[in-house]
Amino acid sequence: MTSNVIIDKELCTGCRRCSEVCPVNAIEGVQGYPQKINGELCVSCGQCIQVCSAYASSFNENISSRKSKLEERGMLPTVKEPLFAAYSKGNAVKVQNALKNDELYKVVQCAPAVRVALGEEFGMPLGSLTPGKMAAALRLLGFNRVYDTNFGADLTIMEEGSELIKRIEENKNLPMFTSCCPAWVKFAENQYPELLKHLSSCKSPQQMAGTIFKTYGAEMDKVEPSKLFNVAVMPCTCKSLECDRVEMKDSGYKDVDVVLTTRELAYLIKNADIDFVNLPDEDFDTPLGCYSGAGTIFGSTGGIMEAALRTGYELITKEAIPKLELNFVRGGEGIRTAVVQVGELELKVAVVSGLKHVVPVLESIKKGECQFHFIEVMTCPEGCISGGGQPKLLLEEHRKLAYKERKAAIYSHDSKLEIRKSHENPHIKKLYKEFLGQPLGHLSHKLLHTEYGIKEGEFENE
């Protein structure tokens, strides 16, 4: 099975810190000797990358050159940071080459968790919120359109919320799990294929946005879709594999061409000598860069659930939700449950952070004992803000503080936005009116939904 997470045997000391955080026990080896990753089990979450502390020393003359390692890892030659044993194969060089190609129309989208972590790579305080600087930097890098994955998150809520309501009305395939996290999807495909009918058929915000960019967006900009190079900047190492899935071509082309991690975007900005800290703020492009507060909280565990409840409550009751801040679904690693009164419906929900915590839920479904209607699952301990592609923090106290500050920044961003519900985003309404028709409609189903399950030749690079 494909994995883009690798352990460099020349650098690994066998400390096995990586094995302690691996949610699927995919790291094999003996203490004191180089470890290896079992590709059949690995879900490419990158948590091992975050905790790895073994790095290439300039005093060790018995290892491959730094230049060769940078090339092997897909990293820019200008990268100055230490090279650690656990890493993911990158795409910065590929994106840099595309940015130099005048025949391509370059489009980029940025996930909500990126804007609360990117500043750390430039010495800014932990959790600094930098959407405006990020948009400005991406334009300086040469992107023609700077969009936002938060728009895709709002779109996901419209489709996923409608799908949940339909399932509840039909009492079919409940509980419904979220499908935004590709590592969780891969785990379900690997370990619980008999329960895949419980996954939402929705694509992730990244993939929904990518499909819209190459259809509606390309038409809007009068660009030939085959010339549109679509980049997604993500906090996650597994998102690169998601965009390579063979079924992610509903636009008629590869919907998302390549994924960069937060760290890789920082490499590109530094390589271009952009003074990120002092950049004046700029806005994302309209209409596909406009988003609600519900879209931005996707970056933290519980955010999908909260966004879905804000919209689902109003779709079902036709009344305004009494309170927007749903603190009972917010939190950290583990499982949180709640019963939400939505009109006459007692909606039973759960939020799961960390794959080890979802196993008891899955087993309860197999036994016919699960009473939940809707379950959010995130592989990483605090959701996307703690993703494997985020800035690396070696000290545990810094890691905990960073997660706290990143989450605080996300919820602060939400609270200050004028529109905080996905269904009230005027550009989402316009997209349905001018192009998609309606949630779960024929075109929406074709472009925004998929069928999960391991397929032969599942990834493009296999």
Q: Of 372, 381, 421, whose CA–CA distance to 400 is shortest?
A: 381
Work out the end-to-end distance of the chain between its first and last CA atoms, rounded to an integer number of angstroms.
9
Residue 99's identity, in one-letter code, is L
Q: Of 206, 203, 252, whose CA–CA distance to 233 is shortest?
A: 206
Does residue 212 sit within a domain?
yes
Q: Quick one: pLDDT band at residue 87, thresholds 50, 70, 90?
A: very high
296-329 pLDDT per residue, tens: 999 999 999 999 999 999 999 999 999 888 989 9
Question: For residue 386, what pLDDT is reported?
Answer: 94
Residue 269's identity, in one-letter code, is I
Is the domain of 81 the same as that of 150?
Answer: no
236-268 pLDDT per residue, tens: 999 999 999 999 999 999 999 999 999 999 999
Q: For strand 334-342 and strand 345-353, is the pairing parallel, antiparallel, or unpaired?
A: antiparallel
Does residue 461 sit within a domain?
no
Question: For residue 94, what pLDDT is reported?
Answer: 96
The residues carrying an active-site annotation are 160, 163, 180, 200, 239, 242, 247, 384
Question: For residue 1, what pLDDT is reported?
Answer: 46
Give the pair of three-digit tokens for residue 184: 């969780």
Is the domain of 82 the same as that of 167?
Answer: no
Q: Quick one: pLDDT band at residue 453, thresholds 50, 70, 90?
A: confident
Cross-strand partners of 433: none
Map tokens 């906090």 to a residue.
235
Is the domain of 255 the same as that of 390?
Answer: yes
Is the domain of 209 the same as that of 77?
Answer: no
pTM higher than 0.85, yes or no? Answer: yes
Q: Would you say residue 19 has pLDDT above 80?
A: yes
SS3 content of the chain, % helix, strand, coil (to 5): 40, 15, 45
146-167 pLDDT per residue, tens: 999 999 999 999 999 999 999 9
Q: Is the dihedral of CA 92, 93, 97, 100 positive or negative?
A: positive
Q: Rounded mean pLDDT of the chain?
A: 93
Is the domain of 155 the same as that of 58?
Answer: no
CA pair distance 132, 375, nearest whole angstrom: 33
Q: Of 258, 255, 253, 247, whose CA–CA distance to 457 is shortest?
A: 247
CATH no. for residue 171? 3.40.950.10
In the 8-state DSSP scheme, what is residue 68? H
The whole-number average pLDDT for the span 201-206 is: 96
Residue at which a domain ends, from 48, 72, 88: 88
108-129 residues labelled b (16+ CB within 10 A) or e (exposed):
bbbbbbbbbbbbbbbebebbbb
Residue at which a domain ends, from 68, 88, 108: 88
Does residue 367 sit within a domain?
yes
Helix residue ranges, H only, 142-252: 149-170, 182-191, 205-212, 218-220, 239-243
Is the domain of 367 the same as that of 284?
Answer: yes
Count of beta carbons in the 10 Å neighbourhood of residue 314: 17
- Which is higher by pLDDT, 58 or 68? 68
Is the domain of 83 the same as that of 232?
Answer: no
Q: Give the number of domains in the chain.
A: 2
Q: Would you say residue 98 has pLDDT above 60?
A: yes
Q: H/E element holding 318?
A: none
Does residue 131 sit within a domain?
no
Please report the DSSP string for 323-382 in residue order.
-S--GGG--SSEEEEEEEEETTEEEEEEEEESGGGTHHHHHHHHTT----SEEEEESSEE
Q: Would you say residue 456 has pLDDT above 60?
A: no
Expressed as residue numbers, the domain containing 204 is 145-448
Is the domain of 72 the same as that of 183?
Answer: no
Does residue 273 sit within a domain?
yes
Rg over alpha carbons for the chain, rounded to the nearest Å, is 21
Residue at which a domain ends, from 21, 53, 88: 88
Does residue 102 sit within a domain?
no
